[in-house]
Amino acid sequence: MTNDAPSVKEAKQVPDTISPETHARQRQLLEELSNAFGPTGHEGPVRAIVRRELTPLVDDVETDGIGSVIARIGDETEGVPRIMIAGHMDEVGLMVRQITAEGYLTIQTLGGWLDQSLINQRWVVMTRNGPIPGLTGIKTVHVMQPDARTQVFKKENMFIDVGAKNKEDAEQRLGIRPGDPVAPDSRFQEMAGGELYLGKAWDDRAGVAGLIEIARAIRESADPLPATVYLVATVQEEVGLRGAHTSSFHVMPDIGLNLESGVAGDYPGITKDEAQEELGKGPTVFLHDSSMIPNLRLRDFIVDTAADLEMPLQFNVLSGYGEDGAEMQKAGSGAPSINIAIPTRYLHSHNGIIHRDDFANAVRLVTAVLHRLTPDAVTNLTTFD
């Protein structure tokens, strides 16, 4: 921690505990965002929620050329640090490839799916006439040969049954066209005990909800920020960090903070060598993934902030993965960047699980970090001589 950074506990910029009212508000926001339709490249319903929530909390909101929402808190004054916080609106989904003569839909995946997670699942096809329910069909076990019963179904052989009589019926009555987006049909549910939230698209609606809650915390704080903050809800992360690429070059941040869903490693079948996060033990700082290595001084800055908040903090080292922080890191002449995550079970499937305290503490942590990023602190983090 740099000497010029104020003590978070002394300044009381964030509460020491999470109130029932805060949990209730955050639960409602997380539920709405999780349930929203928004496969990669088709984030419109999520964007509408983000703009509705952020507009009264920030000084300016705009949308870039491919659909990312860029909200600004503070003036664009020369010499004032520019801090970018990103979370992506898109979820993994599908696209209609073609309609067969019998009225079934063949598919193109949007984002990374395991083939076995696609089969016999409910979906929503968003047509020009509105949503249509569908199901990825599965051959019944009664007619399969014994050796075929243990084989993984390949996505190239999968189809969606939308109840159409034939191709003409699918096109004319249901309004389906090639290119229509498809999303998992899964609904938010509070699990037994009330602390765990079950839903789809936590990657990365948890991060998007975090952007909104951070904006609210800043608005409600009596302490002014020492930097200009850009809260960016990006698009098309799941197919190559595309929204983060364009928005990072628009903002040109001095520091980049990415808010993501983490990779929990606390369930059967996964090892600590693969992922180290656990639900309920605090937000996570990524130390390595396939797209970015973080700035270690920024890591220490965040660790010190969490310590002052007496907040649990985890670390994760992954061999794969990719996230928007990589694009912030590479924008312009480069910016120290880091990925802060909310631990999540069962990523890139119809259902995932997060812990409400991990989410709330991630919001508290990033809000506190923003209050510490003074011009001197940013200079210290961005100077390598």
Q: Tell me whether residue 260 is one of the annotated catalytic residues.
A: no
| Percent of the chain that is helix, strand, coil (3-state, to 5) | 35, 25, 40
Domain boundaries, the chain: 8-91+200-382, 93-184
DSSP 8-state secondary structure symbol assigned to residue 262? -
Give the model's pLDDT for residue 3: 37
Strand partners, 354: 197
pLDDT at res. 14? 41
pLDDT value, residue 16: 52
Q: What is the pLDDT of residue 145?
A: 82
Buried-exposed string 262-276: b where 16+ CB fall within 10 A, e elsewhere:
bbbbeeeeeeeeebb
pTM of the model: 0.92
Query: Which stretches of the chain drop beneath a pLDDT of 50?
Result: 1-15
Q: Sign of the CA dihedral 223, 227, 233, 238?
A: negative
Give pLDDT, residue 95. 98
Query: Could you tell me which CATH number the domain at 93-184 has?
Result: 2.40.30.40
Other Cβ atoms within 10 Å of 369 Cβ, number:
27
Report the candidate in 253, 274, 264 with the shortest Cα–Cα distance to residue 319: 274
pLDDT tens column, 275-308: 999 999 999 999 998 898 999 999 999 999 999 9
What are the pLDDT digits (tens) for 31-80?
A: 999 999 999 999 999 999 999 999 999 999 999 999 999 999 999 888 89
CA of residue 229 relative to chain centroid, distance: 19
Sheet holding 284-288, edge to edge: 60-63, 69-73, 228-234, 82-88, 255-261, 337-342, 284-288, 314-317
Q: What per-residue confidence (pLDDT) applies to 64?
A: 97
Q: Please tell me the predicted confidence (pLDDT) of residue 107.
A: 97
CATH topology of domain 8-91+200-382: Aminopeptidase (3.40.630)
Annotated active-site residue in 237, 278, 323, 327: 237
What's the confidence (pLDDT) of residue 17? 73
